[in-house]
Every structure is written in C-alpha cells, then in structure tokens.
Amino acid sequence: MSLAAGDRFGRLSDIIDHGTYYVPPLPVPDMSIVDSAMRDKVLEADYRERSKVVMKQETDKAMLYAFIASKLSLESEDELKRHPSYSTLNASKDPLDLWKALQQLHLTNTISKNAAFVLQQSENDYMTLH
C-alpha cells in the first residue's frame, strides 16, 4: 500500500512507513550569493516552494484517507466501524489517525519468529476483538 500511495500522493504516504507526516525542511539562505537582494529573492522562492508542498499535502489528506479506506477488506472495515473513535476519524478524514487506528486493530505484538506461534497469537488477538 505504501508504494501505491507514494505513487499517487508523494511524501504524504510517509505516514504508512514512518507514522508521521513529512515536514519539508525550512529553506536556508544560500550564502554563496553575494548580492543580499538576490539571496533574499532566492530564499523567498524557496519558501514559496515549501509552502506549495505543505498546501498540497493538506489538500491531499482527504484523498489519501479515501485511498486507504478503499483498500480495506469488509472484515477490516467492520472492525474499524467498531473502533471507539470511529466517528471522529470519519469526520476528520485524517489519514494518519486512520492509519494508527488500523495498526491498533491489526498489529500482532509478538517478538517470536515461529510462524505457528505468530498465527496462534494473531487468532487469539482477533478473537478478543469480538
């Protein structure tokens, strides 16, 4: 899902891999430009580009939310609707909150590498959801 979201939404899809939104770095003045007026113009242009990236991320959040929600199985969708904060999640359309809720519902916390044990732990965790 990370690859497909990255193809459509760029760095906004970092929430899937890193659990946080991508924050573009603040522009730094290029001190190699001797003329201070020119340096200020370049810095201003860099700030404008950064603002475009941030604004695009803000406008794409609802689309990423819809993208993630569209990839859910019927069972996952039903479990998500039973999540305590589902009404808030659905109203805000925040993809990061959605992703964290999905992780909370689906991740199995185990350090074992034994496939049979992991499967058993997953089944136990799933049964406790009901």
> Model's pTM, two decimal places?
0.73
pLDDT at 128 over 80: no
Residue partners of 76: CB distance under 8 A and separation at least 6: 102, 105, 106
Is residue 112 very low, low, confident or very high in pLDDT (cuts 50, 70, 90)? low
Select from 116, 68, 114 the least CA-distant residue to 93: 68
Q: 71-109 pLDDT, tens per residue?
A: 998 988 998 998 888 999 989 999 999 999 998 887 766
- How high is the pLDDT of residue 127? 77
Q: What is the dihedral of CA 11, 17, 20, 21, to 10 degrees?
A: 10
Select from 114, 96, 112 the least CA-distant residue to 104: 96
pLDDT at 130 over 70: no
